[in-house]
A and B are shown apart, each in its own frame.
Chain A
Amino acid sequence: MSTTMTRPRNLPVEPPKKNRGRVRSASAALWDASPLTYLALIITIVLSIFPIVWSFIVASRENSAVTDIPPPLTPGPNFFDNASRVLANTDANFVYGLINSAVVSSCVTLSVVFFSTLAGFAFAKLKFRGKNALLLIIILTMMIPTQVNIIPLYLLMVKFDWTNTLQAVIVPFLVKGFGVFMIRQYAESAISDELIEAARVDGASTWRTYWSVVLPALRPAAAVLGLLTFMETWNDFLWPYVVLNGDTPTVQVSLNILATGYYKTDYVQVFTGTALAIVPLLLVFIAFGRQIIGGIMEGSVKA
């Protein structure tokens, strides 16, 4: 299961030494987004955002607005009313759900990123016996359909007496095959063997190499992995619903309670709850956005 990567043959590897000025301007032309690129991205983003903006609009109106045709495109006056209705819903325990979700998602994310970079690095750059077989197992782990795993996992939680506790939604997810595999694929191309060698020659232990050489180089991928993990954990519903009850909800469990009625769906409460639940994710995004976009431009300018 190892992937080899050959460098494209026709390309000159050495950057031309002459014409530094020309390189600079060529570089600028290469890397500046053209108006066409902007246009394409704007279309993409409008498509991406519309359903969400629209759900915010619904959140600011009344239930019957949901099925209006043409759909309402301007916000109504009710957002704060609806928001306070959500927060005041004692069954949904929304604020507690938010806090629990923050704890759970943070723990899972930190752990997944740490263990994934550690193992991903080992699989990509260290030599050890049984490596390919172990990597194969990791990839296999991702192929296990989630639906039926729920039953054995629930029985396990009962045995551990972890039902209705946050451990139940944290501990089983501290590692993810996805993360190891992703980091491994990234490290494969992003970290040179020479770099590891150089650290070795300098007398660094493997751990030290990981901590001060590899980890910094893995930063973009680690940030992406962290973000994706955080969002996935934040949005997970089925398992938290099964193993937690309304006294210890995650935010998605709270949202589910908001959505219920006696044979009806309170759309406005759902959308308002969703809107409120997105806010922490936006905060994460803003806080770590730089990690994700980091690197490339600095690198190209430096060269």
Chain B
Amino acid sequence: MSVTSRRLRSIATATLTVGLALGMTTACSAKKDAEPNANGTGPVTISLSYFGTPGFNQAVKDFEAANPNIKVDVKNEGQTKDFAPKLAQWISAGSGASDVVMLEEGMLLQYLKDNKGFANLLDLGASSVEKDYLSFKWKNAFTADGKKLVGLGTDVGPLAMCYRTDLFQKAGLPVDRDAVSKLWPTWEEYVKQGEVFKSKNTGAAWTDSATSVMQPYIMQNADSWFYDKSDKYIGDTNPAVKKAYDLGLDMAGKGLTAKLARWSADWDAAFKNAAFATVPCPPWYTGVIKERAGDAGKNKWDIATIPGKGGNWGGSYLAIPEQSKNKKAAFELIKFITGKQGGLDAFAEAGPLPSSIAALDDPKITDAKNEYFNNAPVGKIYAGAAKELKPIYLGPKHQALWENAFEPAMQAAEQGKLSAQAGWDKAIKDSKALAEG
């Protein structure tokens, strides 16, 4: 034991002691949240739980300014995958949830079926604002019997197709976004262009994975996916599902996909390494690309229209748990955040495309350009696409059926671990078992 290490030790001990003392003081002086004041005699405090970066901060400030009687306690709950089980616990225990909670599409679907834990927004006067929202978004938040509205939509995900101009140039394809849009009026044309692209040996694939083609295809071409409206499993008989599966695996078989698993480290890196040329992209996805492709990818990406008709991918809702003691104030907050002002605030702060029609018509959105994507007029592209979206019925366990049963089996087939037929059989067997379990 040398002198220095002894000194180091005493410094460490001293630091710890001070830190602890500080901590104890804070711990003892920390108060629990004040009880909500439900009588309306003074200012009411309501809480709002969100995950990810939906860009609510400015909207909440504006809301508080407009409603001096309501204070909002904003809670960032971290990551979606952690928040979903936590919320399920709150709902199940009947305690713990905030007055307003954000629901991702998959979570909303679950709670449309198990809707006891949530307030009916129609009872709070939501019908008066129906016309403010894109109609598909409004309809998607109703329970199967159409009597209960669980949430109001924050943002929507109309699809476009992002592509790399540098790879297109190399392959001798046009690079101008209007010309590119004309290359693929249908998915069949899209596959054909992929084969042309492949024959030019750029070293890159046409798109990232078979599964990322399947999703938009179904979203465009069917009004249901795994479930019919009575929540019966129809994944095995729905022709759109089989068609989309075959389309995806056909592309994989022709060597047009990079066979990457989405949201993996390889997939992240593939953006930077220009490993594929096109990818279906809703508005929030532009952030995904920018984040991963980094500075090196600037101005190398552009945005064209998606093959086929319009389709939606992703987007969230705000809902009020039944356990909330301040539903009125909570509803005011939801109306504000999902309304015109809130939508514009969020768009400016974090970029999600609002589901409020008035916001979509605002020049702040229609004139918006995305510098990273060659100054593509994203506002015009996406706001235009958003208005053409039609509702699609997804059903209670859609997210789990897709992500935990169908997609893995399809990936196994794409990676060659299973034949296309075996992959299909497994995808159907697993998703059916899950739907019925």
Contacts and interface: CB of A to CB of B under 8 A. Distances in A.
A247 B1 contact: no
B20 A164 contact: no
Query: Interface centre among B27, B32, B78, B95, by most A CB within 10 Å?
Result: B78
B295 A64 contact: yes
Report, as a range, how many residues of chain B touch the other chain.
Answer: 35 or more
B9 A289 contact: yes
Interface in B283-315: 284-285, 287-288, 291-292, 294-296
A284 interface: yes
Given A64-B272, A257-B76, A260-B79, A284 B16 contact: yes
Interface in A233-248: 241-242, 245-248
Contacts of A66: 268
A105 to B, nearest CB: 10
Contacts of B22: 99
A201 B110 CA distance: 69
Interface residues of A, number: 46
Contacts of B52: 260-263
Interface string B30-50: 101100000000000000000
B12 interface: yes
Given A259-B78, A262-B352, A287-B16, A166 B27 contact: yes
Interface string B312-354: 0000000000000000000000000000000000000011100
Q: Is the interface of B mostly helix, strand, loop or mixed?
A: helix
Nearest to B294: A64
A261 B30 CA distance: 29
B127 interface: no
A287 B13 contact: yes
A223 to B, nearest CB: 13
Interface string A255-278: 011011111100000000000000
Among all A-B residue pairs, the 5 with the closest Cβ atoms? A64-B294, A91-B76, A67-B269, A256-B78, A286-B12
29 contacts: A64-B294, A64-B295, A67-B269, A67-B292, A91-B76, A99-B19, A99-B26, A102-B16, A102-B23, A103-B23, A151-B92, A163-B95, A163-B96, A166-B27, A241-B86, A242-B85, A242-B89, A245-B77, A246-B76, A247-B75, A260-B52, A260-B76, A262-B287, A262-B350, A263-B284, A263-B287, A264-B288, A283-B15, A284-B12
